[in-house]
Amino acid sequence: MMKIPLLSALLLGTLSPALAASFDVKQNETPIAASASPQAIGKIPPGFRFVEPGYLTVATANTHSPPLGLLASDNKTRIGSDADFARLLADSLGLKLHLVPASWEDWPLGVAAGRYDVAMFNIAVTEERKKKFDFAIYRADGHAFLVKANSPITHINKAEDIAGLRIIVSSGTNQERILLGWDAQNRARGLKPVTPVYLTDEAAATLTLLSGRADALFGPESMAAWKVASRGDTKIVGYGPVRSWVAVTTRKGNGLAEALQTAVNSTIAGGQYQQVLNRWGEQNEAIKASAVNPPGIVY
């Protein structure tokens, strides 16, 4: 299990000017472009067949989950940090971008079946997923516990802190695995069980939390920070035990991961990578260089 020190100033209330400004997301609708990278293009395997010739077809979340993904002011164009990173990758590889909104449950089969070249869903690298997919990392993400601003809950940092609580979580995520693992520890010690509340829609999750039908929400740090700063009716009270590598995900053994890695590194060197992080308030998730299939989370 990868452990990276938590850089939590942003999430505990010291919000960057970029994040504060980005709540008017219309200013973030203008794409950030990158130049084609001969090095990245040269890493594309000879004869590689993209889903659509001349395009990088990227599956990304169809949910409203800022800053990772949301709709632009035209109510149809997907924007957010994952969409921005997808465009940078396509640019670096000398391709056009075909962004395909999809459900979380769909991306594994879609990538494995060749419907998408890659998936970008805030996907964390795990040892289990590495058996089926190849990864090129582009962020280091953590998990945060969010509660109502007036909640009596002051901290959730370890297993016993979740005993007896109703916690919103998405199925099939690393957050769910952490939550259920902690719950198993608590049950073995005779503590009250946790009640997972499974929701994928962010609006429904927020309403459920604020209405008191759940005690906390457990999800990505960047999404929690966005809610705290943009709404003012929630607070972060703790974090999960690990940070994880978030990666562009492609089919195992297709040879594309090295090209994606080089594309990410090209945008880091060119400064566009940091521009995306800055305008979506994800500066604390920056990496110095991409890597292919690094050690992942082990459960």
Whether residue 296 is contained in a domain is answered as: no
The answer to whether residue 3 is domain-embedded is no
Q: In CATH, what number is assigned to the domain containing residue 255?
A: 3.40.190.10
The structure tokens listed for 72 are 């632009």
Q: Clarify whether residues 129 and 151 are in a common domain.
A: no
Indicate if the pLDDT at residue 20 is higher than 70.
no
Give the rounded percent of residues in the chain with a pLDDT score beyond 90: 81
Q: Same structural domain for residues 223 and 151?
A: yes
Which residues contact residue 44 at a Cβ distance below 8 angstroms, ignoring those fewer than 6 apart? 93, 256, 259
Looking at the fold, whether 124 and 249 belong to one and the same domain comes out as yes
56 in a structural domain: yes
Q: What is the mean pLDDT of the chain?
A: 91
Q: What is the total count of domains within the chain?
A: 2
Based on the fold, state whether residues 147 and 74 are members of the same structural domain.
no
Residues 90-115: pLDDT tens digits?
999 999 999 999 999 999 999 999 99
pLDDT at 165 over 70: yes
Within a domain: 7: no
**Strands (DSSP E) found in the chain:** 55-61, 70-71, 78-79, 96-102, 118-120, 133-141, 143-148, 166-169, 195-198, 216-220, 234-239, 244-251
On whether residue 294 sits in a domain, the answer given is no
For the cut 80, the answer to whether the pLDDT of residue 16 exceeds it is: no
> At 23, is the pLDDT very low, low, confident or very high (cuts 50, 70, 90)?
low
Are residues 127 and 21 part of one domain? yes
Q: 85 and 129: one domain?
A: yes
Which pTM value belongs to this model? 0.84
Looking at the structure, do residues 98 and 212 belong to the same domain, yes or no?
Answer: no
Residue type for position 171 = S
pLDDT, residue 265, reads 98
Q: What is the pLDDT of residues 54-83, one digit of tens each?
A: 999 999 999 888 999 999 999 999 999 999
Residue 293 belongs to a domain = no
Domain that holds residue 79: 17-141+245-285
Tell whether 217 and 280 lie within a shared domain. Answer: no
Residues 122 and 261 grouped into a single domain: yes
Report helix, strand or coil for 140.
Answer: strand
